[in-house]
Structure 1
């Protein structure tokens, strides 16, 4: 069956159609209606054949046709006395009758200028008389005619009675076409309905299977009655018996208190403000806390009032907990980094671990292996659970202490079913513990810390979850050990610092007594100041636990000189090792002392600009240090080089790499050294 576009292309292919003579709207509408009737090129049908027979008999003509006018031909649905089933549009007399709703009667075709040259007139069959009633559809579009034809002229045309019959028969043709179209539509609709019903049944079966396989439940809430119709999978997810309907409140009450602002209620469903796509937690009867992902839409009545909520739910607990566990590990590292208290560390870890599992409790306890006791150090518990007592004897709750002593994790899905706890299950159940993981954390082989996670329902722990708990315990234990080591190191550093200060004080006292007879006191004072600079550098190292930043060393010089605002410094954060820090501290002292005596700091307006940069263009990174004085007296090289000058020339690590200048605007020095050597521990 040709489509509408093909019919329109037929119109555009007509020889007489061009830019100046486009197809008229009536012609396009005629082709559209013919397309809709789906009548062209169909076999003969008795109902149409009877009409042309009656028309021929009533009008007394040898020929009668039901002629349908296309773009480039006229096709005959029924005919009497005319053998061709179609003729070219150029031979169509019927085309002249389409423009008027009235009958077209031409008594003598040879005398009418519209038809005188028609080959059907000038050549066989030499038709002479024509009368046609237009076939006009319900929307007023003419698609052809019911016509009668004679090979003899008929000056009198048709009688009024014949004209009425011919017009009535033309309307009957249209009625048949409409009936035929309606019948075809019904047949097609019926076929589609059957197909849709079959497809619907198949879809329903597939949907149910897919829901069960994908664990997706469906629901429909009648907002007026607040009754929910739920699928079997929905009921399984919410851990309730599979019955057709429930009060919606049944499932609202299962939402954990902290998530009830996310779930829909009768109020926000009624006013249309309920969130359509949400994730929330429910507490089920036998599976504890579960994560639900819900997607829904609201159906409204003709006034716009919500009447139904329809949607799906899916249990996303496993995926959600995987994400939460990953995030908990990331958060643990971030939060432990900022803590300096062991109790706070354990409390933070307990909180993150408990929430990642939606557990009843999670925490850490100190173990006395000999006494077989556990002392709770820190614990997180859900709002529904109570905190545990401070101290517990393992044997009061089963025999699993033997596993813990061997360094093995204890993983129980159901304390009532496990032989290690079945005899003491009531003691555990009284604490709200139905399943748990106890994981020993060993410190150099010693069992002194326990990590635990509790559920108040049966729970099948996975290997990944146990590994997660172990990772949590290990990280907390490492952080605690690091903090304890840092605390011990800080105590040791303070003691070393105190002893070093005493040592430097004793050296200074001995030097003072020894050098008292020396008449040139300047040398003695320089020695004392260098000794002080060395002591100050040691203070910085001890404060920074063996390392010191360039910025701290320079700022220490600024404090020592007691000339605020006279030193301008800039450079990246670079931490030096002990050797580099001591060397730079002594060099800074010499440079600062010289600046106060002879250079920029000897004048009120003099300043020192200090810069340091890292150059990574070579085989290994180099640190370059710049000292530039300005605003002081014009510099000049020293007449003789003392120890201070030699110390400066030795550079940052005693290997040279020093360039000095005594040009305006003031003394400057540039020192370069290997960054790696500067940062070495020794």
Structure 2
């Protein structure tokens, strides 16, 4: 057992950091936590149950029953002593214990006398508070074994709910982050596309009869050729990138009958691929055939690539929302990024920083380029991982010249890598993902392109984190559902043992059925992350559990209720159905129930109406006016009390109503 000291600053700092990570302090009440303290009070048979979280100078209650204050100063805290151990803390007589005998809650109102607290321990082993029960009478024997086990099981459930809540918040943050990135991209798009291409215009004249080109000095600079009196046109034809699908051309007839030729195409220069915009006109001879072409060219690589980068980022946002697995996300992103950068290979790798390895995901490659999918060791290709680990992007214009890769250059060249760009993606302080872009020829990188690659990395990392968060949340919800079923089973076992002396077994059986009804409602809520449940699904599962689904007619459109509305609906339907099976239309083989619901009003004044009508059963009357079931029915949906019950000759007719907003809200 690990002993902790409340005055130890390390433990205090760890606890404060854990509470900040959960972002739970001073949040509004939530039904799932309220339900846990209710169960704890029932199991331990105490008037008070609390979920207590301990900060430096106060303890705050996330959920409480039987205790009015929402927090107390440390002078009034008994829960601070639950931080000492990972075991259940029990103090049978608070007036006799030296730690608590002078506590103001012991010496004054409400004069508490007994305390039992199960520590709330995070997955990292940090105790942040306790789930406790309190009594106003001394209990020398404390809790029995089953009560102690139940309280500790519920404490584990509290932590599971905290983890689910944290994952849900993280997923929401990721969605907001992606939305913000898209908004900034669209703003940048307007500015970039409005910018004009820097640089001059080169003029040229081609003698088509001699296949000879003469041009201005700016023309030769654009094509990265030394100035000369003339060049054969074949020199320029060889520079045009083959099979270029990006070439765009338009032709229009001029008023004088000559044809204007406007083209954008890529050329392969000593400094890499460039985009050229050309405007030209044919000069025709006496026979009407073209003899010359005159025109102008301009290097539009910067503008073309800027527009391509922005469009790629916008397209990425659209495509990522449609994908749900890491492999397809990486493949889609790599395809868009590579084409925007004229790369020969591009993609993403999942990093193991401890072993200094990277698992390359499926990537985009140009024709004739071999993929590098699979596991690779960073050190086999140089020392640039040292920069990646501290979050710095690596841009290597020539792997044979850079000191980080020169000694391993041949290994890179064998993979067709002449130019190497790696951008690390840091997630929660960890180097988790690397974005890579390769060229097999020289390429002039700009700061804007480095930022573009980083943006791609951030977006794919956010999307991957979202998918993982959703997967973890689904797994956690399944585990929470399993734990809740175990907890409810424990409650049933404790109740069965506690109520064993009760001779009226029908009351014990009714209690068990109601717990099962709660379990059914919780199952449906967990399928939607506890935020809501479809009422038709709640109805059908309730009737299926009682084996009467084929005898109930459902009439109404499907709606969703929040947790409180769902639990209320499930319990009401359970009571009505069991009563109908015992005394009403479902007690014979011919009767049936018609369940109809509808809405009236608009906006916040929308009212939900639920009508229960039994047909074909024996005459009915109020058989249990003082029973819990009847009281529950008379409380109505959500406890509104708006219920009209009629015992007519054709069968029971019951009408209930409540505001739709009240039934759909997520919190109390």
Task: Kindly indicate whether the alpha-carbon contact (under 8 Å) linking 2:565 and 2:663 is maintained by their aligned counterparts in 1.
Answer: no
Matches within 5 A, 1:586-665: 586-590=571-575, 598=584, 607-611=594-598, 616=603, 621=604, 624-629=607-612, 632=615, 638=622, 640=625, 642-654=627-639, 656=640, 658-660=642-644
Residue 342 of structure 1 pairs with residue 329 of structure 2 = no
Task: Kindly indicate whether the alpha-carbon contact (under 8 Å) linking 1:415 and 1:425 is maintained by their aligned counterparts in 2.
Answer: yes
1:301 & 1:661 partners in 2: Cα distance?
Answer: 102
Q: Give the C-alpha shift of residue 423 in structure 1.
A: 4.8
C-alpha distance 612-543 of structure 1, shift in aligned 2 (>3 A): same
* 1:34-55 deviation digits (Å, cap 9, x = unpaired): xxxxxxxxxxxxxxxxxxxxxx
Matches within 5 A, 1:520-535: 526-535=510-519
Q: Give the C-alpha shift of residue 459 in structure 1.
A: 3.3
Q: Give the C-alpha shift of residue 426 in structure 1.
A: 4.5
Larger radius of gyration: 1
Matches within 5 A, 1:194-593: 215-217=200-202, 233=218, 235-240=220-225, 244=230, 246-247=232-233, 250-251=236-237, 254-257=240-243, 259=245, 280=265, 282-293=266-277, 313-388=297-372, 390-504=374-488, 526-551=510-535, 552-554=537-539, 556-557=541-542, 561-563=548-550, 566-570=553-557, 574=560, 576=562, 578-590=563-575
C-alpha distance 499-339 of structure 1, shift in aligned 2 (>3 A): same
Q: Give the C-alpha shift of residue 306 in structure 1.
A: 8.1
* 1:466-497 deviation digits (Å, cap 9, x = unpaired): 23322322332333333333333333333333
Task: Kindly indicate whether the alpha-carbon contact (under 8 Å) linking 1:362 and 1:453 is maintained by their aligned counterparts in 2.
Answer: yes
Task: Kindly indicate whether the alpha-carbon contact (under 8 Å) linking 2:551 and 2:592 is maintained by their aligned counterparts in 1.
Answer: no
Task: Kindly indicate whether the alpha-carbon contact (under 8 Å) linking 2:561 and 2:664 is maintained by their aligned counterparts in 1.
Answer: no
Number of residues paired by the alignment?
Answer: 456
* 1:52-105 deviation digits (Å, cap 9, x = unpaired): xxxxxxxxxxxxxxxxxxxxxxxxxxxxxxxxxxxxxxxxxxxxxxxxxxxxxx
SS in 2 for 1:570: coil
Q: Give the C-alpha shift of residue 465 in structure 1.
A: 2.5
* 1:518-571 deviation digits (Å, cap 9, x = unpaired): 898876665454333212112122333333333443554576552399323326
Q: Which residue of 1 aligns with 2:171?
A: none
1:471 & 1:384 partners in 2: Cα distance?
Answer: 28
C-alpha distance 440-288 of structure 1, shift in aligned 2 (>3 A): same
2:575 & 2:201 partners in 1: Cα distance?
Answer: 78
1:641 & 1:279 partners in 2: Cα distance?
Answer: 87
SS in 2 for 1:325: helix
2:358 & 2:528 partners in 1: Cα distance?
Answer: 38
* 1:408-444 deviation digits (Å, cap 9, x = unpaired): 2222334345443345444434433333322222233
C-alpha distance 436-594 of structure 1, shift in aligned 2 (>3 A): farther
Task: Kindly indicate whether the alpha-carbon contact (under 8 Å) linking 1:294 and 1:314 is maintained by their aligned counterparts in 2.
Answer: yes
Task: Kindly indicate whether the alpha-carbon contact (under 8 Å) linking 2:638 and 2:663 is maintained by their aligned counterparts in 1.
Answer: no
Task: Kindly indicate whether the alpha-carbon contact (under 8 Å) linking 2:330 and 2:460 is maintained by their aligned counterparts in 1.
Answer: yes
C-alpha distance 289-455 of structure 1, shift in aligned 2 (>3 A): same
1:238 & 1:622 partners in 2: Cα distance?
Answer: 72
Q: Which residue of 1 aligns with 2:20?
A: none
1:579 & 1:388 partners in 2: Cα distance?
Answer: 53
Q: Give the C-alpha shift of residue 669 in structure 1.
A: 1.8
1:494 & 1:436 partners in 2: Cα distance?
Answer: 44
Q: Which residue of 2 aligns with 1:21?
A: none
1:483 & 1:404 partners in 2: Cα distance?
Answer: 25
2:533 & 2:209 partners in 1: Cα distance?
Answer: 72
Q: Which residue of 1 aligns with 2:114?
A: none
Q: Give the C-alpha shift of residue 338 in structure 1.
A: 3.7
C-alpha distance 521-676 of structure 1, shift in aligned 2 (>3 A): closer
Q: Give the C-alpha shift of residue 259 in structure 1.
A: 0.3
Q: Which residue of 2 aligns with 1:668?
A: 655
Q: Which residue of 2 aligns with 1:26?
A: none
Q: Give the C-alpha shift of residue 627 in structure 1.
A: 1.4
Q: Give the C-alpha shift of residue 325 in structure 1.
A: 2.7
Task: Kindly indicate whether the alpha-carbon contact (under 8 Å) linking 2:551 and 2:593 is maintained by their aligned counterparts in 1.
Answer: no
SS in 1 for 2:550: coil
1:587 & 1:309 partners in 2: Cα distance?
Answer: 87
2:209 & 2:587 partners in 1: Cα distance?
Answer: 88
C-alpha distance 406-660 of structure 1, shift in aligned 2 (>3 A): same
Task: Kindly indicate whether the alpha-carbon contact (under 8 Å) linking 2:260 and 2:282 is maintained by their aligned counterparts in 1.
Answer: no
* 1:126-172 deviation digits (Å, cap 9, x = unpaired): xxxxxxxxxxxxxxxxxxxxxxxxxxxxxxxxxxxxxxxxxxxxxxx
Task: Kindly indicate whether the alpha-carbon contact (under 8 Å) linking 2:606 and 2:661 is maintained by their aligned counterparts in 1.
Answer: yes
Task: Kindly indicate whether the alpha-carbon contact (under 8 Å) linking 1:571 and 1:613 is maintained by their aligned counterparts in 2.
Answer: no
Task: Kindly indicate whether the alpha-carbon contact (under 8 Å) linking 1:263 and 1:275 is maintained by their aligned counterparts in 2.
Answer: no
* 1:215-264 deviation digits (Å, cap 9, x = unpaired): 44566778888877766555544545556565479448723535077569
Q: Give the C-alpha shift of residue 456 in structure 1.
A: 2.8
Q: Which runs of 5+ in 2 are unaligned?
A: 1-195, 252-256
TM-score, scaled to structure 2: 0.55
